[in-house]
Chains A and B, each alone.
Chain A
């Protein structure tokens, strides 16, 4: 064991944890906003995957890494539009539409992959890292935390930006009202449909961006179904974090650490099954639910369509 606890190993572990956490942070923050507004986006998994494909294809096609991020955001928002039209506007069941989106995107991206990449398996070059001068020299956490692609820093800053936005503007207030008591928001003269649309589209954009990060930075390749359930984990993170963006990041980093540790230990050839480590975050969520279960509550109007004058 002692051989494992080298500085390089731990730094790689930390660095891997951050990279694994970023898609969860982004998608989780998006879902948080959507849920807060009353739209449960079960299609998040599909939006991540859609973003992953679009981002990768764009980057391979010569748009560059940032072009890929833009493509990922667009793909996610396009998918979220389905959610908006079907669920927010028409009031069709959110769970059914969400599952349909996830299924459809999983299939379509696999098909596209098959047509364009299955023979060549293109790989993107390792992302350009930007080491923060000074900080990255700190032993252990320097290379672990402060030597990443710019988007990684952006993702780590995103919760704070959102926190500032929620606190410093009417955004959080309007979203909460749309999710808790839409008729109150409507009576206050704010359009509930538009507020919910904003939340749903933001979730799509963030999931798409997270997906693009996953394929462009995380792995450098696109593999069908590469999101591996991270959409669902992001949903759970958002539900548990409630209104607190920083909690989403905390939870995501914890997941990331477990994922990274599992990989690292495998590489290190350790005997303990890494599966136990992979189980850890889920077990923790269950423990939290059991311990603080009474307090865990979802927005009152989550999943229910709003129509004026209907009680």
Chain B
């Protein structure tokens, strides 16, 4: 990941305004990806223009579509934040899906009990904390293995993630099944006891929480001493040692924090949208979010923009799947193209600079 450097605060491009080059480098791959996607659609016998306009209309322009898109952003934003926290430190927490699943499960088990005995706000808050704690716990084994024995956290993270999916299902079936339901799922939180909706919309408070978490993490990473230490660890581990930072302890802390945010994402989605955890629930958000975080170059603000665009694409794409018969998976093709073109653009930029 060495080429993932921080965007300099002052661009050195002569004469052009400071923002022109980064903007061009962000937009050109997007255009190229849309074009390549259009080619794929056309080759498969769909009208690309028709598809794109339909997606934009359904995902963005219609009020209901827009609201659905925004609700869809909630878990993606928080998970993206979890990834940014670890990626910025040069650590690859790809066990994010497992942390999410167990966070969701924890909230699904705890929240219905808590709302029965205390007011909604503290009850849901506690449920979210519980979800975060379990997420952190699940990130601990890979963190310790990495810090103590230098074992790549990618493998162990994926293992923990696969395990979590099965473990969550087993726990629901054995111990946390709602007796009133035929399906293996946890008890449902009554709709009026979930996260409140923003007035006049179908959007729940979760979006506010997600935005606060995202922006707070971004500010913490870019504006505080802890954030700077984290970035130095990621940018140049040797410099971290030279500056006297305790690398092993930081590795454990960062991975667990990332896991906590991952678990928190599940808890927020459960208390806001899902209301209950089903044994089969495994949306594999991580796979959607990892590329978005790469595209945003691990920048919180850019991540919000990309997650929004992706949500519009997903919601609009879901409608298009029904109406135009283009499956939703087309969004994945677009993201894949986008990643390739972005990597290519960065390579071209780098080669040009080396030759200059």
Contacts and interface: CB of A to CB of B under 8 A. Distances in A.
Q: Do chains A and B touch in the complex (CB under 8 A)?
A: yes
Interface of A: 82, 86, 90-93, 95-97, 99-108, 110-115, 224-225, 229, 232-233, 235-236, 239, 273, 275-276, 278-279, 282-283, 285-286, 289-290, 293-294, 296, 298
Contact of A282 (B159, B290, B329, B334): B159
Given A275-B173, A279-B167, A294-B149, A99 B339 contact: yes
A92 B344 contact: yes
A107 B167 contact: no
Contacts of B145: 289-290, 293
Contacts of B343: 86, 92-93, 96-97, 100
B155 A104 contact: no
Contacts of A224: 327, 329
A232 to B, nearest CB: 6
A103 B335 contact: yes
A99 B83 CA distance: 15
Contact of B163 (A95, A229, A286): A286
A97 B340 CA distance: 6
Given A103-B291, A273-B170, A289-B151, A111 B44 contact: yes
A108 B343 CA distance: 20
A289 B169 CA distance: 24
Interface residues of B, number: 50
B94 to A, nearest CB: 9
A282 B294 contact: no
B163 A279 contact: yes
Contact of A279 (B4, B170, B347): B170
A17 B335 CA distance: 35
Contacts of A103: 287, 291, 332-333, 335-336, 339
Contacts of B327: 110-111, 113-114, 224
A273 B169 contact: yes
Listed residue (A99, A107, A293) with the most chain B CB atoms within 10 angstroms of its CB? A107
A282 to B, nearest CB: 4
Contacts of B190: none
Given A232-B158, A236-B158, A286-B156, A111 B333 contact: yes
Contact of B155 (A93, A114, A239): A239
Contacts of B325: 114
Contacts of B346: 92
The 10 A-B residue pairs whose C-beta atoms are closest, nearest first, are: A104-B336, A107-B333, A110-B329, A107-B332, A103-B336, A100-B339, A275-B170, A275-B166, A279-B166, A293-B149
